[in-house]
Structure 1
Amino acid sequence: MQSRQVSPEEMRKRVAVFSELQASAMPLIDAARPEFQRELLSIIGQGVAEDGAIVPPITDVEGFHLSIVRVDAGKGSALHKHRTVEVFMPLNGRFSVQWGDHGEHEIFLDQYDVISLPVGVLRGFRNESPGQALLLVIIGGDDPGNVEWIDEVMDAARRKGFGLDERGKITTRSVSEGG
């Protein structure tokens, strides 16, 4: 049986060097609020990122998107959902994962623990460590679609002058433009 042959040039397009990754400081619109500020390092595909400037080093998506989120102590992600499974694994530190319509459920993950969040479930996370920590994120599917935010997140973003365009990417807008 013959295996698929890949040239060295093709394989180089499938390598992401951590020290060369470009971080997005506002990967998703919830980062308009200080408690949700974090950096996203997209590695394979863009996932559900709303920063239209993100260009991951590996663009050939085959069934999943992979990124690392760099999160300062006490910060994380607001409640959101999307149409794909999302997997979280702390690479260091400790994270809490909240889920439910009001984030009423919570579980704690330590280094290398893994949680797989089902499609359509509202979820968020927070770095519970005393310092900065890294969270590996895997999002299923070739096209993960867009994030669906709770109203509170979108209202806060609009008050700060941000919105989403028709593609689901972050735009700046005049605060007087409204919704």
Structure 2
Amino acid sequence: MIQHRLIRYADLIPCRNAFVDSRTPGSDQKENFTLIGPGVSENPNQHVHIPEPHGFNIGGARQPPRCLNSQHSHETAEVFIVHKGRWRMIFGVNADEGEAVMEEGDTISIPTHMYRGFENIGEESGFLFAVLGRDNPGKVTWAPRVFELAQQYGLVLLEGGRLVDTTIGESVPPNAVLQQPPGPEQIAQLATPPADRLRGCVVKAADLHANPNSPLARAGVEELPIIGPATTGDGFEPGPIIGWWPHGFNLRALRLESGAAVPSHTRQEEEVIFVHRGVLQVTTPEGEIIMGPGDTFTTPKGMPRAFRASSSNGVAAYVVRGGDSPAAPEFV
């Protein structure tokens, strides 16, 4: 049944010790989620909701106010959409090389090979929807300070990215090699890009512009580009976020007024839909899906799907499609 491809926000299963910084005061209340794909968790017990390879990974982070995710670097693209809360993205190995404040609906694509952290600076629990590049996004490179604090709280990171939690009786395997903190040369290679370049990595929700040439565009329906590495087969030019590092996917916003619909069509790329606001009805030959805020759904390639906004306030959703240049949909 198609229902197994739906991940309800209310049913998300968190991992509270996914990374080596999870015991650090100020970071010990964060929850990490792997929705689609293996993700980058260092804990082998991290729950994976849908393991099917998509060419990218979908994840999430939920943090209470003032909770911090420590400084780290990724080997592939890392994109965040703010679903709930107000967030501060912090740059630099020592968290002192710039920041970006993100509100609900905003998107940031953080370049590879640079240090970043993030903090919920709102007054309520916040949630970030995340997209990571490639099926295997590689391991995380932590700032030296993270290793120092982890040792104090019983966490040991092995070379290759496996986490050992000695506080629950786990032990370091014989002959295991411990992951060493990065040295000065590696840190220099992960330098923060200039501020003017980083500004091009952020798109505010209010600054999105609909593409009238989108095949989905019609009365009450807008498709708005966010991340586009190249000109696409479905009528989109590159941008507004292009990036000087590979993404391997496109990100769009989809907005429907109440009662507006997109007729049944197929895609030849992986397509993941995340609902930010409203109630979205997705109709497929295998059944109907009703999605609410925070829900995620992945449609099989080639399967017909139709959309309808069934809430009085319309729908705001985000759509991830695989590849740099998605083809035009085929209406059926």
The question of a shared fold, defined as TM-score above 0.5 by the shorter chain, is answered with yes
| Distance in 2, Cα, partners of 1:29 & 1:46 | 18
1:63 aligns with 2:51: no
| Distance in 1, Cα, partners of 2:152 & 2:55 | 36
Q: What SS is found at the alignment partner of 2:5? A: coil
1:60-117 deviation per Cα after TM superposition (whole angstroms, max 9, x unaligned): 1212111121101011211100101101111011100011232221010000100001
More helix by share: 1
Alignment of 1:112-151 (within 5 A): 112-151=105-144
Structure 2, unpaired ranges of 5+: 173-177, 179-332
Partner of 1:100: 92
Count residues with an aligned counterpart. 167
1:39 aligns with 2:31: yes
Work out whether residues 15 and 57 of structure 1, in 8 Å CA contact, stay in contact via their aligned partners in 2. no
Please, which of 36, 41, 48 is the counterpart of residue 49 of structure 1?
41
1:135-168 deviation per Cα after TM superposition (whole angstroms, max 9, x unaligned): 1111111101111101110111012111123441
**Identity of matched residues, %:** 28
Q: What SS is found at the alignment partner of 1:155? A: helix
| Distance in 1, Cα, partners of 2:110 & 2:126 | 20
Partner of 2:162: 169
Structure ranking higher on relative contact order (CA contacts 8 Å, 6+ apart): 1
TM-score by length of 2: 0.48
Partner of 2:253: none
1:21 aligns with 2:12: yes
| Distance in 1, Cα, partners of 2:123 & 2:7 | 29
| Distance in 2, Cα, partners of 1:62 & 1:29 | 27
Q: What SS is found at the alignment partner of 2:132? A: strand
Specify the code of the residue in structure 1 equivalent to 2:99: E
Work out whether residues 43 and 57 of structure 1, in 8 Å CA contact, stay in contact via their aligned partners in 2. yes
| Distance in 2, Cα, partners of 1:106 & 1:44 | 28
Q: What SS is found at the alignment partner of 2:22? A: helix
Q: What SS is found at the alignment partner of 2:84? A: coil
Larger radius of gyration: 2
Work out whether residues 93 and 110 of structure 1, in 8 Å CA contact, stay in contact via their aligned partners in 2. yes
| Distance in 2, Cα, partners of 1:128 & 1:146 | 27
Q: What SS is found at the alignment partner of 1:134? A: strand
Work out whether residues 38 and 136 of structure 2, in 8 Å CA contact, stay in contact via their aligned partners in 1. no
Structure 1, unpaired ranges of 5+: 1-7
Partner of 1:4: none
Q: What SS is found at the alignment partner of 2:49? A: coil
Q: What SS is found at the alignment partner of 2:21? A: helix
Q: What SS is found at the alignment partner of 1:31? A: coil
